[in-house]
Chains A and B, each alone.
Chain A
Amino acid sequence: MEMHAQADALFRRKRWFAFGLPALVLVYLIYIFFAFDIPGLVDRARMDNAQKLVSDAYSYKVHVTRDNRNDETVVAIEGERKGTYDPTATPDWVQMGEETIIDLGNGHLVTFAAEGRVTYDVPNYGVIEAQINGRQIETNLGDTPPDWINASGTRVAITTEAGRLTITRNKTEVFRYFTGWELFVFTLDSPYYGHGLGDILFGDRIDPARSNLSGAWQDFWGNAMWRHAEVAWALFETVLMAFLGTFGAAVIAIPLAFAAAKNFTPLLTIRFAVRRVFDFLRGVDGLIWTILLSRAFGPGPLTGALAILFTDTGTFGKTFSETLENVDGKQIEGIRSTGAKPAQVYRFGVIPQITPVLLSQVLYYLESNTRSATIIGAITGGGIGLLLTQAINTQKDWEEVTYYIVLIVIMVMLMDSFSGWLRRKLIKGE
């Protein structure tokens, strides 16, 4: 009878867990749904931003712009000064001259004619004509243009699958979209722009002053738009922060961990004090350390390294002292029985036991700290984290953001496999 009651109680408890816990989670999620104002999120979300971000991440546009006040036409990648084509060397789909003819592909032809006249030949639709006349823009569109044309007396915007044409009183502008990252290898001012790898390796000398290989490398490495050299340095700086922080913390934590371990420090007061130091270092947290240290040392990799070092000294101190408390006493006793001095007991009895365990903990943190160094870099200003926040803050260089994200993911994965490899090499001796 008693067993029956026990089983009933057990089932009641299990039933509570099986239904009560999910219900509790559900209630909490409902609370969060309103506390985080998720219904309002739909209004606040900027889907146009998302679209811009995604399309910018894998494509770019070339602007062909005519200034209607002085009739000058400029071809520029993303409309940036650094990406402006020389007027004598425009891409072959733009024909400059009395009339500028822009071929958008698939039969779409835009012509900038003289005296503010613009025509756009759209296949399967017809030729759209527009004429700037003083303050007004006159078109042949009539009163009800199709929905891909947005026309008023002062502004005409035509969006097709081939590109986009906008006409205002001040300027007439055509966008043509291309897939890829623009000018990733060479900028337009480099003589190597437009040459393939084969040309550079085996072709004639392109720039008379430099050999092809070194010249191409200089222009690639010094690319003013993508700044490959700076990015590589920033990645190195991030890894440096993680390396210095992790191993510096380990070096400081080892002696302190001995002072915090029960079997090595019989004195309770010392043990207690050292442990509170560890708790404090961990409790203050990387964020506060970063703020505090950047006030003293200014932005840069040293601040980041020290912030990691401070936090991880606490973490390592705690785990190392736990490891030390679990060492096998027999080995120590054995060494001591041979008449070894205390230093020799540590050297041959303790160190060989704990080295693999500590090393594997440290190497595990090396990978996670590479990620932390990216985050700390974003706050304090150093390494790839800084470049990333800068690129995001411009809100238009999403191709660079994508590039940095890819690099960060590769960096963290490489550090992961490196630390795994080192762990196997050093601990298992493979």
Chain B
Amino acid sequence: MSDQTLPLTDHAYLALVQKRRFYSGLTLLIFILLMVSGFMLADDRNAGGFWNGIGNIFAFPADVIEDASSRLELLPGHLVRYFPALIETINIAAVSTLLGYMGAIVFSLLSTRGLARWPRLIPVFRRLMDVMRALPEIVVALVLIFILGGGPVPAMLAIALHTVGALGKLFSEVNENADLKPVEGLASVGANWSQRMWLGVIPQVSPNYLSYALLRFEINIRASAILGFVGAGGIGYELKNAMSWGKGKFDEAAAIFLLLFLTIMFFDQVSSYFRNRLTKGAQ
């Protein structure tokens, strides 16, 4: 019996493998075709082509380095001068992370099954978070600049809004895994909803919350620098001004690049250190 079925199984298995390989090969081919044609299309639509520009790619960094090195003695002064703007950028990121963090806690608790204050409204809060997450910060910031004028507040509000959506989704995933026993215990002694959440859920989930919030802070520093570039104050705004002075005066831009690079690296390292401690415990 086995003499007959074995070759059959063998044959079927090989056919299956061949079919799978064919499909993987086809997927790969489609992917390569998409990438190549995509790059060609993007190249075609770009103002300067790729092959014209590739030779100039080091021209601008070379200009910046040349200007900076020819006036190296001014660099410390520039660094000091732009430091307050850097602080503003970091402040925007910090406040928006803080506000977004608090908003995200409320939204995530309101949209988690088993914890929600109004279970029927869970889909509403979820969709609200989806919209907040989908709105790029720049959209909100530009509209708010029109109403509130330039400065840090539009950027702060825009990033905070996005942070509520982004963190809220992650937090509600954390909440799903929270143990409900403390909540039930608190409910049995007559605690109201906010007491149940504050004393029963938050202590369980806050290490995970903090770890996500630190990662978000890193992202928000980058975002706040970018929003400055479109008029929302901080180091990005100074960078835009420094860029407009043109060749031969890029020494200030060099100082800003340096500040921005060091800041991002610094907060990257700090946050990854603390996140490691939070997830793997102290030591």
Q: Measuring CB to CB, which residues of chain A are less than 8 angstroms from any residue of chain B?
A: 25, 28-29, 32, 35-38, 41, 44-47, 49-50, 53, 237, 240-241, 243-244, 247-248, 251, 279, 282-288, 291-293, 295-303, 305, 371-372, 374-375, 378-379, 381-382, 385, 388-389, 392, 395, 401, 405, 408-409, 412-413, 416
Q: Indicate if the CB atoms of A378 and B138 lie closer than 8 Å.
A: yes
* Chain B nearest Cβ from A159, distance in angstroms: 22
Q: Interface residues of A: mostly helix, strand, loop or mixed?
A: helix
Q: Interface residues of B: mostly helix, strand, loop or mixed?
A: helix
Q: Indicate if the CB atoms of A401 and B143 lie closer than 8 Å.
A: yes
Chain A residue contacts of B260, Cβ below 8 A: 285, 287-288
Chain A residue contacts of B148, Cβ below 8 A: 41, 44-46
Q: Indicate if the CB atoms of A36 and B156 lie closer than 8 Å.
A: yes
Q: Indicate if the CB atoms of B143 and A297 lie closer than 8 Å.
A: no
Q: Indicate if the CB atoms of A379 and B229 lie closer than 8 Å.
A: yes
Complex formed: what's the CA distance from A240 to B41 in Å? 9
Chain A residue contacts of B41, Cβ below 8 A: 240, 301
Q: Indicate if the CB atoms of B135 and A45 lie closer than 8 Å.
A: no
B255 located at the interface, meaning its Cβ lies under 8 Å from any Cβ of chain A in the complex: no
* Chain A nearest Cβ from B135, distance in angstroms: 6
Q: Which 8 A-B pairs have the closest CB atoms?
A: A300-B46, A298-B47, A298-B48, A297-B53, A302-B46, A412-B134, A295-B60, A296-B53
A sample of 28 cross-chain residue pairs with beta-carbon separation below 8 angstroms, ordered by A number, consists of: A25-B98, A46-B146, A237-B45, A243-B34, A279-B265, A285-B261, A286-B226, A292-B61, A295-B56, A296-B53, A296-B56, A297-B52, A298-B53, A300-B48, A301-B42, A301-B46, A371-B136, A374-B139, A378-B142, A378-B230, A379-B229, A379-B230, A382-B45, A382-B46, A389-B230, A392-B146, A408-B136, A416-B130
B147 located at the interface, meaning its Cβ lies under 8 Å from any Cβ of chain A in the complex: yes
Q: Indicate if the CB atoms of B142 and A388 lie closer than 8 Å.
A: yes
Q: Indicate if the CB atoms of A302 and B39 lie closer than 8 Å.
A: yes
Name the interface residues of B159-191: CB closer than 8 Å to any CB of A: none
Q: Indicate if the CB atoms of B146 and A49 lie closer than 8 Å.
A: yes
- Out of B50, B146, B257, name the residue touching A297 (CB < 8 Å): B50
Q: Measuring CB to CB, which residues of chain B are less than 8 angstroms from any residue of chain A?
A: 31, 34-35, 38-39, 41-43, 45-50, 52-54, 56-57, 59-61, 88, 91, 94-95, 98, 130-131, 133-139, 142-143, 146-149, 151-153, 156, 222, 225-226, 229-230, 236, 239, 243, 257, 260-261, 264-265, 268
Chain B residue contacts of A244, Cβ below 8 A: 35, 38-39, 42
Chain A residue contacts of B156, Cβ below 8 A: 36
Complex formed: what's the CA distance from A267 to B231 in Å? 47
- Out of B42, B53, B94, B138, name the residue touching A375 (CB < 8 Å): B138
Most chain B CB inside 10 Å of its own CB: which residue of A284, A296, A409: A296
* Chain A nearest Cβ from B230, distance in angstroms: 7
- Out of A288, A382, A395, A405, name the residue touching B135 (CB < 8 Å): A405
Given A244-B42, A375-B137, is A295 in contact with B149 using a C-beta cutoff of 8 Å? no
* Chain A nearest Cβ from B145, distance in angstroms: 8
- Out of A240, A283, A303, name the residue touching B268 (CB < 8 Å): A283
Chain A residue contacts of B136, Cβ below 8 A: 371-372, 374-375, 385, 408, 412
Chain A residue contacts of B46, Cβ below 8 A: 297-303, 382
Q: A49-B146, A248-B39, A302-B46 known; 10 other A-B pairs, CB under 8 Å?
A: A36-B151, A41-B151, A53-B143, A237-B45, A243-B34, A282-B264, A284-B261, A296-B53, A297-B52, A412-B133
Complex formed: what's the CA distance from A124 to B153 in Å? 46
- Out of A36, A305, A379, A385, name the residue touching B39 (CB < 8 Å): A305
